[in-house]
Structure formats: C-alpha cells, structure tokens
C-alpha cells in the first residue's frame, strides 16, 4: 500500500511540474534582446523586426550625444540623452510599426516593426497516472487427501484377499495320544512277530523264530524277576 501511494505521489509531482513549465514557456520562449548601435551619426541597423516581449538596447558609440525618440508608434518611448558608451533598453509590449529618430540630430531616423508574439505551441497534456496493477491474491493451497497407509501386515503392492477369497484353513485334528507303553509279554512279542510276518510275507522265517525265542526269553526273565525272594 505504501509503495502504491509513493508511485501516485510521483505521478502527481511530475504532472504539476509539466503544467508549470507549460505555463511559463509561452511567455519566455520568444523573449529576446536586440542590440542597436549608434555610430557615425546613424542607427545600426536602420530597420529591425522584433516580437512583443522583446527588449531593444541602444548603445551610443559616437563621440556626440544621441537619443531615441518615437515620431509615430502605437506606444511612444523616449530615451535619455546617451553620451559615449552609455546604453538604454526598452521592452516593446504593443505590436505595430515604430518610427523613431534622434531629437538632437533629426536626420538620424530608423524603423522598428513589432510583431505579435508567436502562438504558444500546442500543449501536450501529460498522460494520466496509471493506477498500479492490483497484486493478485496468493493462491490458496488445495487440501489433498492423505494417502491411505497400507496395513502393517501387508506389503506395498500386495493384494489383501477378502474373507470370500481367503482359502479355508483345514482344521487340524489333535494328534492321537501316544499309546501307553505296554508291559512286555509274550503275547505282544508274538503279536509283533505275527504283524511283521503279515506285513511282509517275504521275511526270513529264521528271523521270525529268533524273534519268538527272544520274546519267550524276555517273558521268562520277567516272570522270574516278579517272584518274591524266598529266604
């Protein structure tokens, strides 16, 4: 806001300065000073054309005294008597033809033609101050939806099956309890031998006999060990 005000103030100052120059320029643009010498009992130059507002200066360079006095003019003037080296100035304000002479030496005559002041040039109006462009409002950020965090149990890019897509988990049946160890007996030994024989009909019969003998031996040892000691 402060920058905008300073810019407008500069434009106003520039406009005011241009306006003052335009007002003063017409009056002083064509104001000139012209010199007329009085030498050899004559005015030099004898005729001169000037504009309203100009100044004419007469300078006496003769040994004799002289003056400048109008005989017929829209506005009369009369200079004082000028001795050698003296000057006198007069500013013309009325246009027209001025005939003048030296009243001391009447045969010294000259002519002034005063023209109206030139019309002032067309004044160029300064361009109006352009308002400073409005500063665009800062763009408001558009809120974005946070990305959905993947489930900790799944890896990125992995599809998490729904309940309908999940395979059925087979229910594990509890393992059958281990069979309790049975006491070694001849029946179990024989059963084991018979089971082995039925499982593999190609088993060597000698192995079966050896197993049967071993079973009977173990059974006898168990029976002997289970009897109470006799004292």
DSSP lists the bridge partners of residue 47 as 111
56 and 75 Cβ atoms separated by less than 8 Å: no
DSSP lists the bridge partners of residue 49 as 113
Is 66 assigned a ligand-binding role in the annotation? yes
Kindly calculate the radius of gyration of the chain based on its CA atoms and give it in whole angstroms.
Answer: 71
Backbone angles phi, psi at 188, to 5 degrees: -65, -40
109 and 99 Cβ atoms separated by less than 8 Å: yes
CA–CA separation, 34 vs 13, rounded Å? 37
Is 30 assigned a ligand-binding role in the annotation? no
Backbone angles phi, psi at 10, to 5 degrees: -65, -40
Is 102 assigned a ligand-binding role in the annotation? yes
123 and 22 Cβ atoms separated by less than 8 Å: yes
CA–CA separation, 99 vs 78, rounded Å? 12
Task: Provide long-range contacts, Cβ within 8 A and 24+ apart, for 217-226.
Answer: 218/184, 218/189, 219/184, 219/185, 219/186, 219/189, 222/183, 222/184, 222/185
CA–CA separation, 62 vs 85, rounded Å? 8
The H or E element spanning position 193 is helix 186-199
Binding-site residue numbers for Cu cation are 66, 102, 105
């Amino acid at each position: 806001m402060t920058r905008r005000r300073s810019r407008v103030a500069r434009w106003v100052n520039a406009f005011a300065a241009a306006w003052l120059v335009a007002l003063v320029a017409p009056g002083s643009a064509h104001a000139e000073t012209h010199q007329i010498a009085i030498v050899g009992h004559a005015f030099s130059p004898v005729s001169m054309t000037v504009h309203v507002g100009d100044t004419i200066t007469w300078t006496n360079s003769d040994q004799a005294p002289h003056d400048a006095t109008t005989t017929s003019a829209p506005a009369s003037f009369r200079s004082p008597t000028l001795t050698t080296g003296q000057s006198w100035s007069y500013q013309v304000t009325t246009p027209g033809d001025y005939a003048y002479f030296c009243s001391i030496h009447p045969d010294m005559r000259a002519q002034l033609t005063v023209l109206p002041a030139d019309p002032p040039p067309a004044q160029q109006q300064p361009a109006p101050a352009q308002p400073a462009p409005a500063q665009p409002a800062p763009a408001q950020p558009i809120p974005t939806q946070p990305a959905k965090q993947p489930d900790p149990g799944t890896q990125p890019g992995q599809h998490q099956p729904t309940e309908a897509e999940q395979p059925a988990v087979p229910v594990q049946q509890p393992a059958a309890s281990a069979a309790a160890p049975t006491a070694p007996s001849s029946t179990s030994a024989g059963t084991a031998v018979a089971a082995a024989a039925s499982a593999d009909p190609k088993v060597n019969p000698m192995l079966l006999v050896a197993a049967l003998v071993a079973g009977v031996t173990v059974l006898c040892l168990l029976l002997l060990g289970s009897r109470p000691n006799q004292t």
